[in-house]
Amino acid sequence: MNGVQSLPYWNAYFDYPTGARLALFNSTQGLGGVASQFFLWWLVEKIGRRLVIIIGSVIIILGVFLQSFAKGLVMFAVARAIIGLGLSFEYTAAPMLVTELAHPTHRAQLSTFLNTLYNLGATLAAWITLGTLTIQSDCSFLSPPASGTTLTGYYLVVVLRLIGITDPRTQNIINGCLTMWNMGWSFWGASVIDRYGRRPMMLTSLTGMLILGFMPWTICNAEYVIHDNAAAGKAVLAFIFIFTAFYSTTWNGILTGYTVECCSYDIRAKLICLQNLLVQGTITGFNYLNPVGLANIGWKYYIVVDCILVVEIVLVYFTYPETSKITLEEISVIFDGQRAAQPDLVKEATKGGVEVTHVETKHDVESERKEMSA
């Protein structure tokens, strides 16, 4: 959606949407994701992870087809909601399937790489959109829209206009370069997640986003607007890249994988759906608030994001435990203590009178832990 908003034909077709009308284009995708979470926790247990992923893919294809032939705001918004519905199927089932199938030594990398692959699709969409800029018809915007932090992820064009970058080609080139930049950092973060640990990477990411990214971004944007300082406007662009680099190293991939790790099997589906409900609800809300806030108070809206980042740092520091280099069973003990649920296989064996010694179970866990630390 970043690239599409820069296309002249898209703006003309939808009567140059700004503020609340622009928000409607992006926020409807989250509505589909929010609605699905009230039944997905049941569906993913009833028919299995694999089938839910397949159904979600079919729904996404349907939504993209409708969006590609949208004839007005309502049809475009409905298509975005259908895409959001399909994506929520994937967000719920795929992380659980990958985490549950992966060997402990590869669990973190595989679960993190799962979400970082979004950047690969975003990169392709960004450069395809640059190519469609030369198409002198409505096909220039009906072709590229791929599913798209919410300011740089959905409203980069609006942000660039606030610092005087209004040329559609320049906007698309920046968008393409930014998605490639994010893809590189997200792949690096996924590859080192076990080496540095979840908590250190989350805290480093949030601190860098705030101190080295968004606060300087806010200050420079204010300097550009108040004093018409062209150099400050260019500096904003640099801080956008710094901000998204810190975000991509961690949050793009760890968000869902960390939640799956922290849940025992019997409640995993419900908690993943609860997380997706909160995430999609937040994204939907901010996708609506962002263009309205930027249109009404401009750079001052960034102060809100600065405050949110401070709250997130405090929350992670005091409430997020470390889960790297330990097995899923040991993670359950961190949250549930000695009352952590035993695997169903052990329970059934015990009921049947089969002796299952604690030594054997402990030996298996220790072996996995040594392999993960190696």
Rounded Cα–Cα distance for residues 2 and 145 (Å): 9
Total domains present in the chain:
2
pLDDT of residue 354: 44
Q: Which domain holds residue 47?
A: 4-332
My answer on whether 98 and 240 are in the same domain is yes
Looking at the structure, do residues 194 and 220 belong to the same domain, yes or no?
yes
Contact 178, 6 (CB under 8 A): no
Please tell me whether residues 267 and 354 are part of one structural domain. Answer: no
Q: How far apart are CA 230 and CA 235, in angstroms?
A: 9
Residues 219, 153, single domain; the answer is yes
pLDDT of residue 361: 45
320 and 359 in one domain? no
170 shares a domain with 98: yes
Do both 214 and 363 map to the same domain? Answer: no
- Prediction pTM value: 0.76
Are 125 and 246 in the same domain?
yes
- State how far the Cα of 323 lies from the Cα of 197, in Å rounded to an integer: 8
> Does residue 294 form part of some domain?
yes
pLDDT along the chain (374 residues), means of 10: 69 75 76 85 90 93 85 82 89 83 75 75 75 65 54 80 88 88 89 86 94 94 92 93 92 76 74 82 82 87 92 91 69 60 48 45 51 54
Give residue 214's pLDDT. Answer: 93
Residues 356 and 213 in one domain: no
* pLDDT value at residue 238: 94
Residue 32 one-letter amino acid = G
Here the CATH number for the domain that contains residue 70 is 1.20.1250.20
Q: Are 17 and 142 contacting, i.e. CB atoms less than 8 angstroms apart?
A: no
Same domain, yes or no: 211 and 324: yes
Note whether 354 and 265 are same-domain residues. Answer: no
- According to the model, what pLDDT value does residue 340 have? 55
Same domain, 297 and 352: no
Q: How far apart are CA 267 and CA 59, in angstroms?
A: 26
Residue 129 confidence (pLDDT) = 72
Question: Does residue 337 lie within any of the structural domains?
Answer: no
Residue 210, pLDDT score: 95
